[in-house]
Structure 1
Amino acid sequence: MDLKKLYPILFLFLSFNFYAQGERFKEKREQIKAMKVAFLTSELDLTPSEAEKFWPIYNTFDDKQFELRHQKMKGYFKRMQDNELDKLSEKDAATLLNQIEDSEEDLFNLRKKFIINLKEILPSVKIIKLKKAEEDFNRKLLQQYKDKGLKK
């Protein structure tokens, strides 16, 4: 077979493969998001009025937090692979460290603004319950992931 004819077919196959992986990631993220909503709803016991105001604020916060963690920091972690770390100059390492610190500060400021917004609609006790419920959910999710890995 002519190599020139093989390249477009190979490219098309790889494109579909990457698209499918992206779609699976989106599906998993949506499943996790739905589980999280159900979990937080049961843990927080929001009134209908609170829920109406809470969920738009929470969803915006959650989306921005995801973007910060997975879009910005993804690039940093790629550069921090074992074989790449040894190749970093001190200047590049300092620059990378500053970028990571900036991202961490952005996450902190996002959460701080989120809490300020929540104080307008929820009592402090429920905000603390939210923090605990998020941590409990993350632990539960991690445990499910570990259990699934052990069954394979």
Structure 2
Amino acid sequence: MKKLLPIVLLLVTLNITAQHKHRERIKALKVSFITEKLDLSAKEAQQFWPVYNEFDKQTFKIKFEDIKSVRKEIRENSDTMTNEQASAIIAKLNDAESRMHKLRMDLSKKLLEILPAKKIILLKIAEDDFKKKMLEEYKKRRKERG
């Protein structure tokens, strides 16, 4: 049993490292995709990416920490939760979605100081197109495995 623990730890570490590398690769693809779609000048890119990366970091936290924990709470307690608990969960979800909306509004306001309005519209389209491409790629790879 003592020999099994280091092997399990190694596998968990490798899995976490692989996930991190995968996430970083996707982020690099997204940066490239958005830069190309928006046709950012060097000056625009220099001002745009710090603002966008901060937005992305904050939305990632809300999506994958706050909302994920609420979804976990729902899955674990849906059969036994009271109406009061359900109301509290709805309030948490609404709060997270409000924060996401505020971040998006703040991003638009900040980007209007950096980019023409048309490029901000193109950003939304590029984000949606990137998500679609990623989902298609995921489905394709899943189909190839199964």
**TM above 0.5, one fold?**
yes
Task: State the Cα deviation string for residues 73-121 of structure 1 (Å, max 9, x = none).
Answer: 111111222x631121111111111001101111111111111110001
Match of 1:3?
Answer: none
In the alignment, the residues of structure 1 paired with residue 7 and residue 142 of structure 2 have an alpha-carbon distance, to the nearest angstrom, of: 29
Measured after TM superposition, the shift of residue 11 of structure 1 is 4.4
1:113 to 106, 111, 114: 106
Partner SS state of residue 97, structure 2: helix
In the alignment, the residues of structure 1 paired with residue 122 and residue 54 of structure 2 have an alpha-carbon distance, to the nearest angstrom, of: 19
Identity of aligned residues (%): 34
In the alignment, the residues of structure 2 paired with residue 52 and residue 25 of structure 1 have an alpha-carbon distance, to the nearest angstrom, of: 28
Partner SS state of residue 59, structure 1: helix
Task: State the Cα deviation string for residues 8-46 of structure 1 (Å, max 9, x = none).
Answer: 555444433333222222111101001101100110001
Paired AA for residue 143 in structure 2 = L
Aligned residue-pair number:
145
2:86 to 93, 99, 110: 93
Task: State the Cα deviation string for residues 99-152 of structure 1 (Å, max 9, x = none).
Answer: 011011111111111111100010000000000000000001000001111111
2:14 to 15, 20, 25: 20
> Which segments of 5 or more consecutive residues in structure 2 lack a partner in the other structure?
none
Match of 2:61?
Answer: 67
In the alignment, the residues of structure 1 paired with residue 93 and residue 124 of structure 2 have an alpha-carbon distance, to the nearest angstrom, of: 24
Match of 2:132?
Answer: 139
Paired AA for residue 21 in structure 1 = N
> Which structure would you say has the larger Rg?
1
In the alignment, the residues of structure 2 paired with residue 138 and residue 73 of structure 1 have an alpha-carbon distance, to the nearest angstrom, of: 19
Deviates further, 18-27 or 94-103: 18-27
In the alignment, the residues of structure 1 paired with residue 85 and residue 7 of structure 2 have an alpha-carbon distance, to the nearest angstrom, of: 37
1:103 maps to 2:96: yes
In the alignment, the residues of structure 2 paired with residue 72 and residue 12 of structure 1 have an alpha-carbon distance, to the nearest angstrom, of: 32
TM-score normalised over the length of structure 2: 0.92
